[in-house]
Amino acid sequence: MLLALCFATFLVTGNGVAVSPFLLDMARDLGADLAAVANLVALSSVTWGLSSLCAGAASDRIGRKPLLVGGLCVLVLSPLGVALAQGYSAVAAWRILGGVGGGAFMGTVFATVADRFPARERGRSLGWLTTGQSLSLVAGVPLLTGIGGIWGWRGAFWAYGIAMLLAACLTIFVVPATGRDRAIAPLSFAATLRLLRPRTVALLLAGIGDRLCYAAVSVFLPTYLVQTYGISLGTLAIALAIVASGNLVGNLIGGRLGDRFQARGAIVAASLALTGLTALPLLLWQPAVWPSVGLGFAYMLLNSFGRPVLLTALSEVSGEARGAVLGLNITGASVGWLAATSIGGPIIIGAGYGGLGLFAASVGFIGAALALASRTGGAVRALPVSTPA
- Residues of the chain within CATH 1.20.1250.20 domain(s) are 1-178, 187-379
pLDDT one-digit tens code per residue, 143-201: 787 788 788 889 989 999 999 999 999 999 988 876 544 444 455 555 555 556 777 78
Q: What is the pTM of this model?
A: 0.74
Other CB atoms within a 10 A radius of the CB of residue 237 amount to 14
> pLDDT tens, 200-228?
788 889 999 998 898 888 778 887 888 88
The more confident residue out of 290 and 18 is 290
CA-only gyration radius of the chain, Å? 20
What is the CATH architecture assignment of 1-178? Up-down Bundle (1.20)
Class of 187-379 in CATH:
mainly alpha
Q: Note every long-range contact of 181-186, with CB atoms under 8 Å and residues 24 or more positions apart, other chains counting.
A: 181/319, 182/388, 183/385, 183/386, 183/387, 183/388, 184/318, 184/319, 184/320, 184/385, 184/386, 185/320, 185/385, 185/386, 186/60, 186/61, 186/320
pLDDT tens sequence across 241-278: 888 888 888 888 888 887 787 788 899 999 999 999 99
Rounded to an integer, what is the distance from CA 51 to the centroid of its chain? 14
CA distances (Å), 177 to each of 2, 174, 198, in order? 15, 9, 34
